[in-house]
Amino acid sequence: MSQVTPLLDAAEKRRVKMQEDLDALLAIPTAEGRKVLNEDEEKRFGEFSTSLDEIDGQIENFRKQIEREEKAASAATPGRPSVEIISEPGVYDRDNKRGGSYFQDLATLAVGAARMGATATSIETALERMQRNAKEVDVQTRNATAEQRKQFARFLDEEGGSYEKRVNPNTTAGTGGEFVPPLWLVAQYVPFQRATRTCANRVTNRFLPGGIDVINLPKITLGSQTGIQTANAAGVTSRDITTSTISSSVRTIAGQEDISLQLLEQSPLQLDGVIFDDLSRDYDLQLDQQILYGTGANGQHLGVLLVTSATSNTDITKASAVTVGSIVFHDASTANTQFRSILNGKNQIETLRIAAATGIWVNPRRANSWEYSAVDTTGRPLFVPYSPFNALGIDNPNIAEGVAGVLSGLPVIKDGNMPTTMNAGAVTGGTADPIVVLKEDDLILWEGTPRFRALPEILSGTLQIRYQMYAYSAFMPNRFAPSISILTGNTGLAAPAF
């Protein structure tokens, strides 16, 4: 790894954080219904623009230096195979310009290892393509832009910035044909029909290192103490630190697909995208559901909604009205019951966690209901689209999942995996959906690289091959229990009518 790589990574992280700060600055006049920046905002905008230009220049120079070093290293090592991707199609290009199929090569190597009739030439060709693809993926990930690296963050080794590769491709029986999937399959993945991993991507994502089964984090439960010394030579305040440990077990999410050799070999269509897309989308759905409401038992993660020490706010079940001006917030017969409770949850985080909340997680139907039926006593909507004046919340009505608007300065996150079966705080047994106010970066998700195996022996009697996908992950939602405020209630959060 180049000595410049850590500098590049740090610069790209600063660039992402700076852009987020700039976006937050520009959101202020929009939220306040203004179309111009004030004097202080203009000054800060100029400072951000100058800083972004400077850091973009640094990033570009770092990349050029890394490219020069790679070319020099390649030239200095005679006979060493190298890959330089310019405009040549990849080994497993999505348009199949070079005639290669990732899964068919995977099957050829596995079949050849099991001596089921694959020729030596086909095995050698498949092996060569697999090895070349691994090098292409490594080069592409190291030369990716900041946005691309952020997109593939959970697949990248934080230390080396490369895909994790367990073994070199080979035809030895028992290897299972486990290889890194081609990069274009990940980059071209388009969610459809299943809900995506919206909330899983909102928490802090870290790479899961190999060779571990449990992640332990030390926690200070009682801190040291200082105080005023009452007089010269008087006693100094002292208190011993008390510590404990928070643990998160590594879990496995896996799936498989059985494919006939006739379909794999004779079909005019390439099955790479079909198989990878379907398994990947369901993996993302399962992981996101685990992040939200995993039980923590029977191989499951502990989900946000099951963190028992989280702040629970059930104000929305109260039938008594609490009013501000002419707006009723806690009348359980109206659609306005949630807003004051959201502010209460935000306040709980700020006063107990002593930090700011970063998001509001809801089911899409809840956010949509705010725009549809949440009005004050004069009929004015409280959650209004685009750039209104003097509005409680701002909605983006064209978002199915993701950031759908802003409420009390917090992004409202739609996630189709948020349950709609809540019953008095329990995840199942009812028809309500919860609202979660939280500090998302306090929650950590460690995730390993998804892996594939081709297993011909199991179904060899029927000329089928079993493809398996699996990935390891660990999730820790309870580092800071006050980081999460959960709003529940069968009445105030009952299924909205449209």
CATH number of this structure's domain 308-444+480-487, picked from the four choices 3.30.2320.10, 3.40.50.300, 3.40.50.11540, 3.40.50.2300:
3.30.2320.10
Report which of residues 135 and 410 the model is more confident about: 410
Residue ranges matching CATH 3.30.2320.10 in the chain: 308-444+480-487
State the average pLDDT over residues 208-234.
Answer: 90
Confidence (pLDDT) at 331 = 33
In whole angstroms, give the CA distance from residue 403 to residue 398: 10
Q: Is the pLDDT confidence value at 338 over 80? A: no
Dist. CA 428–CA 422, nearest whole Å: 5
Q: Which range among 99-103, 166-170, 204-208, 379-383 has the greatest average pLDDT?
A: 204-208
| Structural tokens at position 144 | 């990716």
Contacts within 8 Å (CB) and 24+ apart, 23-30: 27/406, 30/387, 30/394
| pLDDT above 60: residue 172 | no
| Domain 1-75 grouped into CATH 1.10.3470 | no
Q: What DSSP string describes 403-461?
A: EEEEETTEEEEE-TTS-S-BBTTBSSSSSB--EEEE-GGGSEEEEPPPEEEEE-STTGG
The mean pLDDT value for 364-371 works out to: 84
The percentage of residues in the chain with a pLDDT greater than 90, rounded to a whole number, is 20
Give start-end residues of each CATH 1.10.287 domain in the chain. Answer: 1-75
pLDDT of residue 85: 46
User: Out of 11-25, 161-175, 309-323, which region has the weakest mean confidence (pLDDT)?
Assistant: 161-175
Give 318's pLDDT tier (boundaries 50, 70, 90).
very low
pLDDT, greater one: 97 or 172: 97
Could you give the C-alpha distances from 372 to 59, 330, 382, 395, in angstroms and in order?
Answer: 45, 18, 10, 11
Where in 211-337 does DSSP place strands (E)?
214-222, 242-249, 251-260, 311-313, 323-324, 327-328
Give the pLDDT confidence of 379-389 residue by residue, as tens digits: 666 666 555 54
Model pLDDT for residues 465-498, shown as the tens digit of each residue: 888 899 999 999 988 878 898 888 777 788 887 7
The dihedral built from the CA positions of residue 268, 270, 275 and 281, taken in this order, carries a sign that is: negative
Statement: residue 462 has pLDDT above 50:
yes
